[in-house]
Chains A and B, each alone.
Chain A
Amino acid sequence: GENVEQHPSTLSVQEGDSAVIKCTYSDSASNYFPWYKQELGKRPQLIIDIRSNVGEKKDQRIAVTLNKTAKHFSLHITETQPEDSAVYFCAASKAGGGADGLTFGKGTHLIIQP
């Protein structure tokens, strides 16, 4: 089955700096890669996703890049703000037939230092 590795487990950055979280996946058939943000005691919330036919996607301060050859994808957050502090999870799945259960990484605890 699919295996998703996520690094680092903890990331501390100064407010205003950029943060990068990296993930690798094992199954070359995976074609959908969402990122979720989970604040303490709350539900995971989708912040951005990318499909395998696209190399990069941006949404304001957030961007995701995908390298299918190397089987890795990354989340980039620019101009970090205190409200960006949370645990971030990457995930991977395969499309089609209703069989797209997500395989998650172990998460990155992002700490924004004032």
Chain B
Amino acid sequence: DAGVTQSPTHLIKTRGQQVTLRCSPKSGHDTVSWYQQALGQGPQFIFQYYEEEERQRGNFPDRFSGHQFPNYSSELNVNALLLGDSALYLCASRQAGSGNQPQHFGDGTRLSIL
């Protein structure tokens, strides 16, 4: 049973460029969340997708956008990259349902901005 998978594992970009990160949720999960984890910090919530719609958004600018596909996989897009966007980007998935279901994380994509 595959867990949450993310690609690529590492990425190097320059300021001003655009990037797309990908996430496949754990089998049986249909809700996907994205988090940004700066070095030495806790993960910060970017947004959450369910039924191909953005259901909740954290305090991130609209340079950060996403998408969820019918197979529940998801993409995170970041435009006009800044040096401060350098971080580990984590995807987490969970089953939908009443109450809170535990979120399970992928290994992340390490994004470096030069």
Given contact pairs A34-B102, A98-B96, A107 touches B107 in the complex (Cβ within 8 A): no
> Which residues B41-61 have CB closer than 8 A to chain A?
41-45, 47-48, 50-51, 55-56, 58-59
Please tell me if the beta carbons of B45 and A107 are within 8 angstroms of each other in the complex. no
B49 CB to nearest chain A CB (Å):
8
User: Whose C-beta in chain B lies nearest to the C-beta of A106?
Assistant: B42
Give the residues in chain A near B47, CB-CB below 8 Å.
Answer: 101
Q: Counting CB contacts under 8 A, is B67 at the interface?
A: no
Please tell me if the beta carbons of B100 and A43 are within 8 angstroms of each other in the complex. no
B112 CB to nearest chain A CB (Å):
15
Please tell me if the beta carbons of B104 and A46 are within 8 angstroms of each other in the complex. yes
Encode contact with B along A40-64: 1 for CB under 8 Å, 0 otherwise: 0011111001010000000000000
Please tell me if the beta carbons of B48 and A100 are within 8 angstroms of each other in the complex. yes
Please tell me if the beta carbons of A106 and B90 are within 8 angstroms of each other in the complex. no
User: Whose C-beta in chain B lies nearest to the C-beta of A34?
Assistant: B102
Given contact pairs A32-B100, A51-B100, A102 touches B55 in the complex (Cβ within 8 A): no
B111 CB to nearest chain A CB (Å):
15
B102 CB to nearest chain A CB (Å):
5
Given contact pairs A98-B56, A101-B56, A49 touches B102 in the complex (Cβ within 8 A): yes
Encode contact with A along B19-51: 1 for CB under 8 Å, 0 otherwise: 000000000000101010000111111011011
User: Whose C-beta in chain A lies nearest to the C-beta of B45?
Assistant: A101
B94 CB to nearest chain A CB (Å):
8
Give the residues in chain A near B107, CB-CB below 8 Å.
Answer: 42-43
> Which residues A24-41 have CB closer than 8 A to chain B?
31-32, 34, 36
Encode contact with B along A69-87: 1 for CB under 8 Å, 0 otherwise: 0000000000000000000
